[in-house]
Amino acid sequence: MNLGIENETVEFKKSTGELKEAMNSISAILNKHQHGELYFGVKPDGSIIGQVVTEESLREVSQKIKNSIEPKIYPEVKKVVMDGRDCIYVKFAGNQTPYFSYGVARIRVADEDLIMSPQQLADYIRKGDREENRWENLISNKTIDDVDEELLKKYTNQAHDVGRIAIVYTDKKTVLNQLELSEGNHLINAGKALFADDLIQDIQMAIFATNERLTFNDIQRQHGPVLKLIDIAESYIKSNIHWRVEFTGALQRTEIPEIPIDAIREALLNSFCHKDYAAGQSNEVAIYKDRIEIYNPGAFPEGFEPQDFIDKPERPIRRNPKIARILYYSKDIESFGTGLKRIADACEKADVRYEFKKLKSGFVVCFYRPEEKVNKSTDQNNKDNFLQHSSEVPNMSIQDFARLMNYLEQPRTRKELQEFCNYSSRDYFRTKILKPLIDAKIVDLTIPDKPQSSKQKYVKHKTE
């Protein structure tokens, strides 16, 4: 068996003793074609000689690629058997050109890896900066058939109703063409990101047990169209933060989150608008005891600070202008370049501390959670009480139970409790919620000798 000769996308190395040369070949191929293959255990003429392949040697190749090539790539590295001999196969791809190995940019010419001259590199960077070479404008691997039609229809109707486009929904192909998100039957990457499913569009969400990234209580990973991921992430955060209830005139019930939802959604939109999709990393939501962090794998614009876009009239710098424009049409983002200021304004109005963190690998919006007002031992007692009587209160979650117990630290009327628990039916609330709590001696009557008294109130049972 012979693999043929090396070419502009295929490179052979006799063994992992040629790791440094292999890194040069990978970067050169990426700069010319954005994808390629490399084999260890194959001579330059394509004849297979094999080499020792262990978990350690596979890890060595993976680590060398990670540490030697910039920007980072995430290749497939695996053992293959050819002609009965073990070899290492590396499949790689990346659109963040130019790539550098050991700080030097190279370009593939035939089977050679030639160092770019300063002029060549400057020309190459200028070429890469052209609008048509942006990641979001490249032809994707998805077709119009892969589009979530209901999502596209919902988006089009929303953008039309807010008056930012004159397009009305007819069919997928027509609308995507009008939005400039397709080329023939294929989507461009911006269209794929917004309206189709792909593993590159994903978000990882976790709840950590402490203020450190160690033990987690829950972890989820979702992939799909960006417009759906934003809603999924928002719902995840809303379900796992604290809410307080305020009553105004006529017992009007208002639920207030510990962090303003407008700021959370703006941070999520910002995260996906400015994501570096070619990097292959996930967006992240991390919920800690003291804060919530929303991470975007896309470095903040060089030479700028977040405060520049809050205090100064800086012009917007958009990594994915087409994606941003589509979100602007639907009024998901209000105007270009104002996201950080909108987050800051919403947090300051709600008296919530926030922070913008620039990382080498991306950007983080951090919301600090207010300190809990409830005594921790009381909170634990509520949880223990729920677990002890869970069979007697099947219509309540542990979160709702804990909130109700905290509310019942002071005597409340039946109407107040019904409003607090958000039940419209008096009979259902009395028979399915209140009565089981009383029967289980979790809730006491303030006038036990006169259960039907018009002055009756209810209070959390006090243990001796």
**pLDDT band at residue 265 using 50, 70 and 90 as cut-offs:** very high
Pick from 80, 93, 95: nearest CA to 42: 80
Rounded Cα–Cα distance for residues 38 and 24 (Å): 11
* For residue 375, pLDDT beyond 50: no
Q: Report if pTM > 0.75.
A: no
**pLDDT band at residue 278 using 50, 70 and 90 as cut-offs:** confident
Percent of the chain whose pLDDT exceeds 70: 88
* For residue 172, pLDDT beyond 90: yes
Residue 2 lies in a domain: no
453 in the same domain as 385: yes
414 in the same domain as 290: no
208 in the same domain as 183: no
Rounded Cα–Cα distance for residues 30 and 14 (Å): 21
357 in the same domain as 251: yes
Of 94, 129, 164, the residue at which a domain comes to its end is 129
238 in the same domain as 175: no
* For residue 66, pLDDT beyond 50: yes
- In total, how many domains does the chain have? 4
Q: How many CA atoms lie within 13 A of 255 on its CB side?
A: 12
**pLDDT band at residue 272 using 50, 70 and 90 as cut-offs:** very high
Arithmetic mean of pLDDT, 97-105:
89
Of 102, 129, 156, the residue at which a domain comes to its end is 129
Residue 256 lies in a domain: yes
Residue 5 lies in a domain: no
- Let me know: does 397 contact 387? Beta carbons within 8 Å: no
Per-residue pLDDT, 378: 46
Arithmetic mean of pLDDT, 432-437:
84
Domain limits for position 315: 202-368
Query: What's the CATH number where 344 sits?
Result: 3.30.565.60
Residue 85 lies in a domain: yes
How do residues 9-59 score in pLDDT, each as one tens digit? 999 999 999 999 999 999 999 988 888 999 999 999 999 999 999 999 999
Residue 3 lies in a domain: no
220 in the same domain as 98: no
Strand stretches in 16-143, DSSP E: 35-40, 69-70, 76-82, 85-93, 100-101, 104-109, 112-115, 139-143
How do residues 192-205 score in pLDDT, each as one tens digit? 999 999 888 899 99
293 in the same domain as 267: yes
165 in the same domain as 119: no
Residue 317 lies in a domain: yes
Query: What's the CATH number where 47 sits?
Result: 3.30.950.30
Rounded Cα–Cα distance for residues 228 and 219 (Å): 18
Pick from 433, 461, 426: nearest CA to 446: 461
Residue 112 lies in a domain: yes
Query: What's the CATH number where 425 sits?
Result: 1.10.10
| Cis status, amide bond into 71, omega within 30 of 0 | yes
**What does each C-alpha distance from 341 to 13, 348, 446 come to in angstroms?**
52, 10, 50
Per-residue pLDDT, 387: 47
**pLDDT band at residue 237 using 50, 70 and 90 as cut-offs:** very high
Arithmetic mean of pLDDT, 296-301:
85
142 in the same domain as 40: no
- Beta carbons within 10 angstroms of residue 392's beta carbon: 13
307 in the same domain as 455: no
339 in the same domain as 207: yes
* For residue 336, pLDDT beyond 70: no
Report the Cα 403 to chain-centroid distance in Å: 29
Per-residue pLDDT, 457: 92
Residues with Cβ within 8 Å of 267's Cβ and at least 6 positions away in sequence, in order, are: 294, 339, 343, 365, 367
Of 129, 154, 176, the residue at which a domain comes to its end is 129
Residue 4 lies in a domain: no
* For residue 374, pLDDT beyond 60: no
323 in the same domain as 206: yes
